[in-house]
Chains A and B, each alone.
Chain A
Amino acid sequence: MTNVSIIGLGQTDVKEHWQTSLRHLAWYAIEAALDNAHINKVDGIFVANMLAGPLSGQQHLGALIADFSGLRGVEAVTVEAADASGGAALRQAVMAVQSGLMETALVVGVEKMTDLVGSPVTSALALALDADYETVHGMTPAAVGALLMRRYMYEYGVQVADFAGFSVNAHANGAVNPLAMFRNKLRADRFASAPLVADPVTLFDAAPTGDGAAAVIVTNYERAQDMVPQPIRIAGSAIATDTLAIHDRKEMLWLAAAQKSAARAMAAAGVSHDDIDVLELHDAFTVLAALSLEAIGFAERGEGWKLARDGEIGRNGRIPISTFGGLKARGNPGGATGVYQIVEVARQLRGEAGDNQVSGATIGMAQCLGSAGATAVTHVLSK
């Protein structure tokens, strides 16, 4: 159990924010989180971002965002771990507060995907892969997902349509989330015939990238009790890594880092699978959702897809996932995604999730992955 609690949450909607800059997106989320925590200053800022350099020609986000948010002078740095940056930044904040070096820390995940369009964006996303041995061959994150999906189908004897339940669930939840990028429902029978991104990954399988920012403010547990009516405890927090490239994994269909980080975070929190009421996982591709459920331990190897088929991932199911739409429907704002997950789980535990509420949720888990699980960050939150 960590000695760290969440006292403030903020987020923007995820979409193509053509009129809004990176710094403004970050500020909107920070402003909301400061208001939510009823404070106006923090001891440090951890900015989660993946692609501001290649897409916006802007790095040095710690200073930029501290300055623009009226928090000049505080310690502020960027944390980068591909699309696990958000979870990784929160992990740094947890360590800072747990150690006592900071009393209050702000985590803001921000991603501005639409400053460029088309193939430069695909290239930027591919920066998370091995430049010398994957990217030079034309690999993309979607191609990595596709290679895993095809092998999964081959080894476990499943079809493309068997993955449909993940996207259908995500869109059903996104449809009632006013901040989601896609609020349309998806028909299961349309899943397999959608346009191809990287065979067998289709447009209805791959999560869309979007612009967005989310922020979380943490402080120590004792102080949090006096500051807000519903502090959310960070019960467990862990990061683990795996080989950067999937070709170096002895068991390619096993997300070893996802397993390790989940097991460590759950052990620290003292919770078992049955205790977890809500799970935000990294459904950038449906096969990653299936593999994550297996690695975390909610399904046997090769059977993660069955939870989607059997309706066990819905808001009333055994293990609700993607409760605000997940990466697939809420959208995947890269380095901000892991912070969105934390905001969403915390809202579930506060009982503030509105139409997305999982009733009676008291313990939740969020896990984000950098590419196909080269980095995995898991947090367990409790009321």
Chain B
Amino acid sequence: MEVSRHWRLNEQRYALIGETCDSCGTKLFPPRDVCLECEAPAKELYTFTGVGEIYSYTTVYEAPAGFAEYAPYTVALVKLEEGPVVTAQLTDVAKADLHIGMKVEMVTRKLRTDGSEGMIIYGYKFRPQLEMA
């Protein structure tokens, strides 16, 4: 069982909580406690809006264990509007519509299941940004 190693990341997986650098204000996701830009401490929590755009994407045909049942699936680098780039799967999108620069937003989805009796791991994926009514 891997409960603790997933549970300790629930703020990141479910709410996209990262950090802000105390010194230069750079927003960090994933959180890393030391700023990527200036190496100053970065421990203030920051909740990202979850809005961004596709920086690059790929459809995976040869999947690792735990993902074979979902293959082919699409993984992207999403550049969040606050700056950081995150790796995540895309969902609710037709492959023909995919393009670099596509506006996307975070949603919570099942990432994978550890067999029939194991954990179900949830986390962020991204979908095309819905139009505001």
* Complex contact B100–A151 (CB within 8 A): yes
Contact B89 A137 (CB under 8 A): yes
A142–B75 touching, CB < 8 Å: no
The answer to whether B86 and A247 have CB atoms under 8 Å apart is yes
Q: Are A138 and B58 in contact (CB under 8 A)?
A: no
Looking at the complex, which one of B67, B87, B112 makes contact with A245 (CB distance below 8 Å)?
B87
Select from chain A the residue with minimum beta-carbon distance to B6. A136
Tell me the bound Cα distance from A22 to B5 in angstroms: 31
Whether B64 contacts A126 by the Cβ 8 Å rule is yes
For B76-101 the 0/1 string (1 means CB < 8 A from A) is 11000000111111000000000010
Name the contact of A139 in the complex, choosing from B36, B75, B84, B121 (C-beta under 8 A): B75
Q: Output the least CB separation between B11 and chain A (Å).
A: 12
- State the interface size on chain A (CB cutoff 8 A): 37
Interfacial chain A residues near B62, Cβ < 8 Å: 122, 140, 142, 197-198
Residues of B within 8 A of A148 (CB): 56
Q: Does residue A120 face the partner (Cβ distance < 8 Å to B)?
A: yes
For B75, the closest partner residue in chain A by CB is: A143
CA distance A123 to B64 in the complex (A): 5
Q: Which of B102-125 contact A (CB under 8 A)?
A: 111-112, 121, 123
Instruction: List chain B residues, Cβ under 8 A from A123.
Output: 64-66
Q: Given A137-B111, A201-B58, are A247 and B63 also a contact pair (CB < 8 Å)?
A: no
Distance from B47 Cβ to chain A, minimum over Cβ atoms (Å): 17
Q: Is the CB of A138 within 8 A of B100?
A: no
Q: Is A199 on the interface with B (CB-CB < 8 A)? A: yes
- Nearest CB on A from B88, distance (A): 5
| Total contacts A-B at CB 8 Å | 106
Residues of A with C-beta under 8 A to B87: 133-134, 137, 139, 245, 247
Complex Cα distance, B75 from A227, in Å, reads 54
| Interface contact B77-A138, CB-CB below 8 Å | no
Which residues of B are found within 8 Å of A151, using beta-carbon distances?
A: 55-56, 77, 100
The chain A residue with its CB closest to the CB of B37 is A250
Given contacts A133-B86, A133-B87, A150-B100, contact A138 B60 (CB under 8 A): yes
Any B CB within 8 A of the CB of A241: no
Q: Mark A218-247, 1 if CB is under 8 A from B, else 0.
A: 000000000000000000000000010111
Residue of B nearest to A243 (CB): B36
A130 / chain B contacts, CB cutoff of 8 Å: 30
The number of chain B residues with a CB under 8 A from chain A is: 35
- The reply to whether A132 and B9 contact each other, CB–CB distance below 8 Å, is yes
In the complex, which residue of chain A has the Cβ closest to the Cβ of B28? Answer: A248
Do B36 and A248 have beta carbons less than 8 Å apart? yes
- Closest A residue, CB atoms, query B83: A250
- Kindly provide the distance from the CB of A199 to the nearest chain B CB, expressed in whole angstroms: 4
Cross-interface CB contact of B63 among A119, A146, A199, cutoff 8 Å: A119
Proximity string of chain B (41-78) to chain A, C-beta cutoff 8 Å, 1 when within and 0 when not: 00000000000000111111111111110100101110
Beta-carbon contact of B66 and A199 below 8 Å: no
Q: Pick the contact of A247 from B12, B77, B89, B123 — CB < 8 Å?
A: B77
What CA separation (Å) do A248 and B79 show in the bound complex? 11
The answer, among A119, A122, A132, A199, for a CB contact under 8 Å with B59, is A199
Contacts of B65 in A (CB 8 A): 119-120, 122-123
How many angstroms between the C-alpha atoms of A133 and B9 in the bound complex?
10
* Cβ of A102 under 8 Å from chain B: no
Q: Which residues of B contact A150 (CB under 8 A)?
A: 56-58, 100
A267 contacts chain B at the CB level, 8 A cutoff: no
Report chain A residues within 8 Å CB of B88. 137
B65 to nearest A CB, angstroms? 4
18 contacts between A and B (CB under 8 A): A119-B67, A122-B62, A122-B65, A133-B30, A133-B87, A134-B87, A139-B60, A139-B87, A140-B63, A143-B58, A147-B56, A150-B56, A196-B61, A198-B61, A201-B58, A246-B77, A247-B84, A252-B56
List 5 A-B pairs, minimum CB-CB distance, nearest first.
A146-B58, A123-B64, A151-B56, A122-B64, A247-B85
Residues of B in contact with A (beta carbons under 8 Å apart): 5, 9, 12, 30, 36, 55-68, 70, 73, 75-77, 84-89, 100, 111-112, 121, 123
